[in-house]
Amino acid sequence: MHEELALIGPRLRAARRAKDLTLDDLAARAGMSPSTLSRLESGKRQASLELIVPLARQLDLRLDDLVRTETRDPRIRRPEVRRDGMVIVPLAPEDSAVETYRLTYPPVDELPALRVHAGYEWLYVLSGRLRLRLGAQDLVLTRGEAAEFDTGIPHAMNADGRRPAAVLSIFNGDGARMHTHLADV
C-alpha cells in the first residue's frame, strides 16, 4: 500500500500537466498553497483526503484514479474476423470509444462498392499498396503513408496489385478527427 501512496504525487503532476495547469493555477482552484501542492507532487508531503479530494475534483479525476491498487492486464484479447477475404484484427477493447484495427485487404480485381457512414477514419499502410477511393479521388497509398478522412464521404479500399495490403486503422464513430499528442521531451 505504501508503494501506491507514493504514486499519488506523480499521478497528480501528470494530470495537472495534461490539463496545462501551473502549480499556482491548480493550488488556487483547490484552495491550497502552491508549496503544499508542490510537496504533494514531489512526495515530500503525505497525501490526505483533505488535500486529495479538492485536487481530484479540479482535475476531473476519481480518487480511484489517484490510488489504484492493481493494474489491469493491458493486453487486448479479441478474436480476428475474416470477411470477404479481409482479415480484421481488433486492437482496442470492445467498449473503446475509438476503434483500432489491423486490416489486411486481399488483392481483388474490382474495387468494392463505395460506402458511407458516420465517423472519421485515420489509416496507416503497414505493407503492400492500398487503393483508396474517396469521393472522386482514386488514390494509391504505399507502405508508410497515412490518410485521414470523414467517412461521410463515399469511400472504398482494397489492395492494389497482387499482394495483400496491411493497414492500421483508427476509427471514431462520433466523427471526431484524430489527434496525436507527443509527450514533452
Instruction: Render each residue's pLDDT in the chain as its tens digit; 185 residues.
Output: 466 677 888 889 999 999 999 999 999 999 999 999 999 999 888 888 899 999 999 999 888 888 776 667 888 899 999 998 999 999 999 888 889 999 999 998 888 899 999 889 999 999 999 999 999 999 999 999 999 999 999 999 999 999 999 999 999 877 555 544 444 44
| Its pTM surpasses 0.85 | no
Q: What is the phi/psi pair of residue 101, to 5°?
A: -140, 155
Domain with CATH 2.60.120.10 in the chain: 81-172
CATH H-level superfamily of 81-172: Jelly Rolls (2.60.120.10)
Q: How many CB atoms are closer than 10 A to CB 70?
A: 6
What type of residue sits at position 21? Answer: L
Q: Decide: helix, strand or coil at residue 74.
A: coil
Domain with CATH 1.10.260.40 in the chain: 2-66
Cα gap 162→173, rounded to integer Å: 31
Q: Count how many Cα atoms sit within 13 Å of the Cα of residue 26 in the half-sphere of its side chain.
A: 29
CATH H-level superfamily of 2-66: lambda repressor-like DNA-binding domains (1.10.260.40)
Cell output for 86: 479481409
- The reported pLDDT for the residue numbered 62 is 87
What type of residue sits at position 10? Answer: P
Per-residue DSSP letter, 115:
B
Cell output for 117: 457512414
**Dihedral sign (CA 115, 141, 150, 183):** positive
